[in-house]
Structure 1
Amino acid sequence: MSFIFCAARFGRAARQKPLVSLCVPVYGAEGLIGRFFESVLQQTDSPPVETIVVNDGSPGTKDLGRIVKTYTKRFKERALPLVFLEHGKNLGTLEARRTAVIAASGEYIAFADPDDELPSSALRILYETSSASSADIVHGAGTVCGMEGEPDARVAAFAQRAQNVYDGVLTGDEILRTYIVEHSYSSFVWGKLFKTDLVQKAYGEIPFTYCTMAEDMLLYFFIALYAGTYVGIRDAVYNYRINTGISSRRKIADLAAWQKVCSASSVFTIILSYLDEHPDVGSDIREAVKALGRAYYADNLKQLEVCVDPSLKAEAKALLGEWWGMEIVP
C-alpha cells in the first residue's frame, strides 16, 4: 500500500486524528514484537491508526526500547503514530491495556499481543464493517499457529476457540447472554474492534487488578454488558501464535510465576461481586460465571499437577486455596 493511495481513501493521514487505536501490552515478548510491527506496516487500505505500546515492566525493557525506537522512524515515514508508554513495574495485562485505553485517541480500539500478527486486510475489514453497521463490537475470526513440538490436539482445540464467532448480529442483553450462557462466541478481545467509549465504560467497572490469566474474560464481560450491537463476521482478522505468551503451558519453578496462574480467580471475584450488586442482570448469567470459575479452578489444579516443580507443590497448593477461596469453588 502506498501512502498516496491511503490518503486518497481516508484523507491526509498525517493531519488526521486516528480512527483506530491499536493497544499492545508487552511483557517478555521483545524478541517477537518486530514481526508484529511489520504486520501493522503491511496493512492495506487501513484507516488512520495509532499503535500504543505499553511496556509492562518487562525484563527486556532495554531491548524493547531500542526496537520501538527503530520502528518509530518507519511508522513516522508512513504517517502512523507509534506511542510508547511504560510501567515502572509489572502490573499485569489487564492494567497494561487500561493504560493504553486511557491514552487512546481513536474512535475505535483494537487489542493485540506483541507475539501475534495482523493479516494485511484486518484493520480495513474491521473498520469498514463497524462503520457500515454502527456496531459497538465487530468480531472476526482468528487463525492459530503452533510452535514446533506443540501437540496438534492443543493447537486444534485453540483454533476452534479462535474461530468461534457468532455469524450475525446480536443486540442488547443477548450480546452477553449469547457469549457467557450459550458459549456461541469467544471472549478473546483480540480479533475484535470496539468503540472506544464502550471500552472506557467497561474499565470504569473494573477496579485495579493484577491479572495475567482470564483477563480477556473480565474485560469482555463488562464490554458485552454495556454494548448495544455486536456483529460477527467470518473473515480472518488475527493470527495467534500459541505457546509464546504468559498463558503457555510451561514448567513453573517459582511461586511468583504460580501466583500469576492463580490470578485468574480475581476475574471471578470481581464479576460475581458485580452480579451480587446487580441481581437484575440474571441468575442464568451468575450460574454461567460460576461454572466458568469452576472450570478455571480445575485447570489450575491440572497445572499444579503437571507444571509446578515438585519441590513447590505443597506451597503452591496452599496459595491456590488462598486465591480461590470458597465462594466460587465450594
Structure 2
Amino acid sequence: MKISVIVPIYNKVEYIERCFRQLLAQDMDDIEVVAVDDGSTDGSGDLCDKLSGDARLRVFHTPNQGVTAARRYGVEQAQGEYIVFVDSDDELLPGALRTLYDAISQTSADEVIATFCTHNGIQSPVVYQGEVNPTDLVRAIIAGKNRFPVLWAAIFRRTILEGCLDTPRDIIEGEDKLMQVMVLMKRPRVWFITDCVYRYTLGVPNTRRRTLEREMLYDRLLRQTLAPQWSELHSAFVLHQLKEYEKFICDGHMEVRHNYYIKAIGTLPAGIPLYDRVVWALPPLLSRPVIKLYRTIIQIKQHRL
C-alpha cells in the first residue's frame, strides 16, 4: 500500500459524502481511505458506513477522544507507507495524491508540503520551494508567521510520525501545529512544491473556547518539544506567548497578564518585533485598543491582496 489517507470525523455529516467522493476519485489505485468516526452524534458514523461500499474505504468508530486521538488511531490502522491527513469538511483536488506521491518519491523527502486554496477560490501563497531547513519552519510556526499548511496539503513518510500524535485531548486548538513541530524537531528532510492539492472550507462553525489553563498546558508541551534546540528557538517561543497574550487581551481577559504571563514571559529576549514590545509594555486597558487597531489594519491589507 502506497498511501493511507486519514480522515478524522466528528459531526460533519453534511460534508462527508463530498469529501469521500473526491478522495476515491483520485487517479491512484494503491491507496486507502481510513475514516475514523470520533463518537459523532449527528449521523456521521452511519453515513460513513453507508458509503463504505468501496474496498478502498475503511471505516472505524471510536468513543469521542478528540481529533488528535482520531488521527493517531487512523495511523495505527493504516497500511500505507505514506500518510496524508484530510479534514472531513475539506477535499483533495483531482490528482492531489499522485502529485504528492511523485514529489516525495523523487526527492526522497520525509515530508512534502504543497499549497491549498479555499472553497471560495483564494489561493495560498507560495512561501517556500524545494528543501527547507526544519528549524526555520519550526520558528515560523511557533511565532505564528507560517503561511504554509502545517498538516493538510502534505504527505508524510509514515515512520516520521512516530511519537508525534500524543497531544492530550485538552489541546483543542493548535494541535496540528504542535504535531508538525514535533515532526520537524526530528530534523526530517522537508520539501515544498508549488502545486495546489487541497481545498479548505472556510467558516465551518466550531465550539472551541480558549482558556488560560489550556494555553498554559500548550506552552508546557511546546517548551518540552523545543528543549533540544531551546537556545535557537527561545525568542520564537516568547513571541508565541506574546501573540496568545494579545488574543486574550483583545477578548477582554485582562487578568491573564498577572495570572500567568508576567511570570511566564519575564524579560523579553532579542528578536521580538517593536509592535509586540510596545503592546507588552502597556497596561492591558491601553494595549487593547492598539491590538484591535493593528488587527483591523492587517485585515484590510489581506482583503486587498
Judged with a 3 Å threshold, the aligned counterparts in structure 2 of structure 1 residues 266 and 66 are, in CA distance, closer, same or farther, namely same
Does the aligned pair in 2 maintain the 1:26–1:55 contact within 8 Å? yes
Letter of the structure 2 residue corresponding to residue 295 of structure 1: K
Q: Give the structure 1 partner of residue 4 of structure 2.
A: 21
Q: Give the structure 2 partner of residue 308 of structure 1.
A: none
RMSD after superposition: 3.0
- Map residues 141-160 of structure 1 onto 2, 5 A cutoff: 141-146=115-120
Matching residue within 221, 225, 238 for 1:270: 221
Offset at residue 59 of structure 1 (A): 2.3
Query: Given the alignment of the two structures, is residue 240 of structure 1 paired with residue 200 of structure 2, yes or no?
Result: yes
SS in 1 for 2:14: coil
Q: Could you list the runs of 5+ residues in structure 1 that have no partner in the other structure?
A: 1-17, 147-154, 247-251, 306-316
Query: Given the alignment of the two structures, is residue 215 of structure 1 paired with residue 175 of structure 2, yes or no?
Result: yes
Q: Give the structure 1 partner of residue 58 of structure 2.
A: 83
Query: Given the alignment of the two structures, is residue 296 of structure 1 paired with residue 278 of structure 2, yes or no?
Result: no
Does the aligned pair in 2 maintain the 1:212–1:264 contact within 8 Å? no
Does the aligned pair in 1 maintain the 2:115–2:149 contact within 8 Å? no
Query: Given the alignment of the two structures, is residue 108 of structure 1 paired with residue 68 of structure 2, yes or no?
Result: no
Q: Give the structure 2 partner of residue 193 of structure 1.
A: 155
Q: Could you list the runs of 5+ residues in structure 2 that have no partner in the other structure?
A: 267-305
TM-score, with length taken from structure 2: 0.75
Query: Given the alignment of the two structures, is residue 56 of structure 1 paired with residue 44 of structure 2, yes or no?
Result: no
SS in 2 for 1:72: coil
Query: Matched residue pairs, number?
Result: 264
Matching residue within 271, 281, 290 for 2:229: 281
SS in 2 for 1:193: strand
Q: Give the structure 2 partner of residue 96 of structure 1.
A: 70
Letter of the structure 2 residue corresponding to residue 222 of structure 1: M
Letter of the structure 1 residue corresponding to residue 80 of structure 2: G
Judged with a 3 Å threshold, the aligned counterparts in structure 2 of structure 1 residues 169 and 180 are, in CA distance, closer, same or farther, namely farther
Offset at residue 224 of structure 1 (A): 1.0
Q: Give the structure 1 partner of residue 97 of structure 2.
A: 123
- Distance in structure 1 (CA, Å) of the matches to 2:212 and 2:21: 31
Does the aligned pair in 2 maintain the 1:93–1:211 contact within 8 Å? no
Query: Given the alignment of the two structures, is residue 167 of structure 1 paired with residue 129 of structure 2, yes or no?
Result: yes
Does the aligned pair in 1 maintain the 2:113–2:149 contact within 8 Å? no
Does the aligned pair in 1 maintain the 2:8–2:70 contact within 8 Å? yes
- Distance in structure 2 (CA, Å) of the matches to 1:100 and 1:297: 34
Deviations 1:47-84 (A, max 9, x none): 51111112222221xx22222122211x22xxx1x222
Offset at residue 329 of structure 1 (A): 5.8
Query: Given the alignment of the two structures, is residue 229 of structure 1 paired with residue 189 of structure 2, yes or no?
Result: yes
Matching residue within 24, 39, 45 for 1:65: 45
Offset at residue 40 of structure 1 (A): 0.7
Letter of the structure 1 residue corresponding to residue 44 of structure 2: L
Does the aligned pair in 1 maintain the 2:182–2:225 contact within 8 Å? no
TM-score, with length taken from structure 1: 0.70
SS in 1 for 2:7: strand
Matching residue within 26, 35, 41 for 2:18: 35
- Distance in structure 2 (CA, Å) of the matches to 1:96 and 1:119: 23
Percent identity between matched residues is: 23
Letter of the structure 1 residue corresponding to residue 41 of structure 2: P
SS in 2 for 1:243: coil
Q: Give the structure 1 partner of residue 270 of structure 2.
A: none
Judged with a 3 Å threshold, the aligned counterparts in structure 2 of structure 1 residues 262 and 210 are, in CA distance, closer, same or farther, namely same
- Distance in structure 2 (CA, Å) of the matches to 1:88 and 1:236: 34
Q: Give the structure 2 partner of residue 132 of structure 1.
A: 106
Does the aligned pair in 2 maintain the 1:24–1:97 contact within 8 Å? yes
